[in-house]
Amino acid sequence: MKNTIKHYEKIIINGFNFEGYDFKQRNTSTLDKINFVYKTFLSEYVHKFNNHIPKDILFAEWLSGLPGVIYTPYMNHDILENAKRDGILFATPESEDNFIDTYFKRIATTFLKLKDNL
């Protein structure tokens, strides 16, 4: 399980992409970057018609739409290969399917935990 958490943290930290955004990333902390991504999510995706939905669900939906401010692998093959490179093992095709099915939700949960704990 620890490999999995580190895997998602690595995706988040390596996925920042501030090109096209008014954000000076030089000499900024990971927390500053996370906060900027979160503020971008709030401004781009959360509105009066969906703000009753839990933030982790909204954030997962937003990520699955491939926002420009953070890159996450999104093709099934790439998701699995990336996980395998990080030492995550899949015993069955069903475990691979489960990993893919919960991928964006787990990234969202990990991101929000990082935001609250850094």
Read off the pLDDT of residues 21-42 as tens digits, 9 standing for 90 and up. Answer: 989 877 889 999 999 999 999 9
Read off the pLDDT of residues 35-64 as tens digits, 9 standing for 90 and up. Answer: 999 999 999 999 999 999 999 999 999 999
Q: Is the dihedral of CA 55, 116, 33, 104 positive or negative?
A: negative
The amino acid at residue 34 is I
Read off the pLDDT of residues 66-115 as tens digits, 9 standing for 90 and up. Answer: 999 999 999 999 999 999 999 999 999 999 999 999 999 999 999 999 99
Q: Place 2 in a pLDDT band, splitting at 50, 70 and 90.
A: low
Alpha-carbon distance of 116 to 111, in angstroms, equals 9
| Domain residue ranges of the chain, discontinuous segments joined by + | 2-21+28-117
Alpha-carbon distance of 33 to 14, in angstroms, equals 11
